[in-house]
Amino acid sequence: MCEMPKLPRSRYPDTMHEDDTLSRFEHSEPFTGRIEPLDGYVLVEPVDDETETNAGLIIPASTESACIAGIVVAAGDDASGVAPGDKVLYPRGAGFEIRIGGQPKRLLDRQELIARLYD
């Protein structure tokens, strides 16, 4: 008669522990440090209000707008053609949304920028 081999006891307990990831996230402090974009990335602070250039071009801030205006906060070493303080246009939904000190910012690839605005 053939005996079934005994399986080793599981190293995991029968009951799972409660996941506290959400709790830790809710109680975490907002990031208030400094961020430096690498390579060809650009950190942009979105401008919420309607923008009108000296030439009379009005750039709406509505959600129907395909583009968003923003101010370049920092640029990586390979992000040519833009510098901190430049006002730029970029497509809605481009890049990565991050929050620094509770303020929304966008981390964009330099290639995603559409235009520079001059006032």
What are the DSSP calls for the chain, one per residue? -PPPPPPPPPSS-SSPPPP-HHHHHHTPPPP-S-----TTEEEEEE--S-EE-TT--EE--STT-SEEEEEEEEE-TT-TT--TT-EEEEETT-SEEEEETTEEEEEEEGGG--EEE--
Domain that holds residue 108: 35-117
In a domain, 109, yes or no: yes
What's residue 102's pLDDT?
Answer: 81
pLDDT digits (tens, 9 = 90+) for 27-72: 656 666 788 899 999 999 998 766 666 777 776 656 567 888 999 9
Tally of structural domains, the chain? 1
In a domain, 23, yes or no: no
In a domain, 57, yes or no: yes
In a domain, 71, yes or no: yes
In a domain, 19, yes or no: no
Q: Is the pTM of this model over 0.85?
A: no
pLDDT digits (tens, 9 = 90+) for 82-110: 999 999 999 988 999 998 888 889 999 99
Residue 107, domain CATH:
2.30.33.40
What's residue 84's pLDDT?
Answer: 94
In a domain, 17, yes or no: no
Statement: residue 77 has pLDDT above 90? yes
